[in-house]
Amino acid sequence: MKTYPMLAWPIVHYGIKGYRKDGTSYLVDAPRGVHLVVPKADCSPPVFVPDRPWERGLFDYFRLVHEDGVYRLWYTGGSYQCYAESVDGNTWTRPDLGIVSYGGSTANNICFGGRGAACGYWFEDYSAEPSARYKYMMLAAWWVDKDGREVPESLVQDALTHRTGNELDPIGFRIISGMVGYVSPDRFHWRMLEVPSLMNLFSDNQPILWFDRQRGVYRGYFRTLWEGQRAVGYAETKDFTRWPLPEVVFHATAQDGLDTDIYASGYCPYPGNSELHLQFPALYHHIPDTVDIHLAVSRDGMDWGRPSFDPIIPLGERDGLPETSLYVCPDLVTLKDGRWGLLYNSVAWPHNAGPDYLPEGRCGTCYRWARWQPHRLAGVTAEAEGQFTIRPQPSQAGELRLNYKTEPGGWVRIELADRGGGYPPSEIRPWPGYSFAECDALAGDELDRTVAWRGSPALPVSIGQRLAIRVRLYRATVFAVAV
């Protein structure tokens, strides 16, 4: 059984117009009385806050996996990559890893630090030998002398301390940057690659990377520039140590406001459907100096659309402080209660201000959950009566299931046909016994309800045969169909 979420709205037939000999016109399977809606996320109270001395400053750029009944979180704390875990997603522990010394002790949860610890992303490389099973990439910057040789930070600081005057280049050193890489056998013990730079790009935000086993290539999304604005770029390579510059695939539009660009992609695959791709992009609005989270969808990872230009995770308030910037952890997981969850960083100081903007003693950053019921990132809704048709899809099971919600007095009915509207326009008749009138009305709030016609859920087609699904609804929203 395959699920078709309504956020992939191109599967909804746009309808076709026909003309009669008397000059009048008619519509076949055109959507009417409906529109796409993107429900706001249900946001949890803070579930993880910085409370260790090494976590001061940056508290961001994370990875989350749910395995063996445990939520495992890698995150940036200050200038270190740290690790925490939780059984329920709400109460987190920081195990002592014994890897990195801080303040003379290795009793901490630090994986590694220094150049390459922040703004990074790791992934599993299924093609690599065990010692390099996991790979990590991030932006790093370092000082070099006039001959291009790396200079220790201590030497640079000494030169800066003893310089005189206001010369633009008083010390003879310059700073360069690029994307650097690490490898690990276990996601905790990391070794920096000797390659100076994997990509000649200044991308000071979290890249999203993965190894495509089908194609045998490394793929990734990076922050880049489009007409001077921050945007999302895409690149791929067969050699992890040599990446081409990314090409822009997604950027803000005039509908987002002339002061807006995209700070981070927040890319993740759609759960259980390799044909759908999601972004939860962080849109930075320069004039108010705020960042909120939106939703973008793609069938191929290259051509992106927006079901709404309103944020899916809007700015709110917590602990008496207004949120000003939000950044997601690019991993959509299933929570213990069955809902989908996206961990995000809630920041209470303006983007350009920094933590010193807040009163002393106030914690200005934390992690929260953005939560949705499964497949309810978007839906087709009707305030009154409406109708739309889902393009013919192959049956992969013997029944049809619906994810929907109705308002009081609302209902949904399904009609099945052998085709959707096409050219030349002609009347479409339902399969005998599968009309709207013969469908048992659906009402309430259901995530996975079987559709029946006069009490029978059996479909009129065999496995693999295509059928069009026509939906009539009143005061209701349909989020997904599975067939």
pLDDT at 171 over 80: no
Strands (E), 335-378: 340-347, 365-372
User: Which of 46-60, 145-159, 466-480 is predicted least confidently?
Assistant: 145-159
Residues 441-471: tens digit of each pLDDT: 999 999 999 999 999 999 998 888 888 999 9
Q: Tokens 């140590």 identify what position?
A: 241
pTM for the model stands at 0.91
Q: Map out the domains of the chain with their CATH numbers.
A: 3-38+378-482 (2.60.120), 42-372 (2.115.10.20)
Residues 106-164 have pLDDT tens digits of 999 999 886 555 678 999 999 999 999 999 998 887 677 777 777 776 666 666 555 44
Q: What is the pLDDT of residue 167?
A: 41
Please, what sign has the CA dihedral across residues 421, 427, 430, 432?
A: negative
Q: How far apart are CA 334 and CA 272, in angstroms?
A: 11
Q: Which of 112-126, 249-263, 341-355, 407-421 is predicted least confidently?
A: 112-126
* Per-residue confidence (pLDDT) for residue 128, from 0 to 100: 95
Share of the chain above pLDDT 70, in %: 93
Residue 155 parent element (H or E) = helix 153-161
Mean pLDDT on 247-261:
95
DSSP letter, residue 158: H
Buried b (16+ CB within 10 A) or exposed e, 435-463: bbebbeebbeeebebebbbeeeeebbbee
pLDDT tens-place string over residues 270-325: 998 888 999 999 999 999 999 999 999 999 999 999 999 999 999 998 878 899 99
**pLDDT tier at 337, thresholds 50, 70, 90:** very high
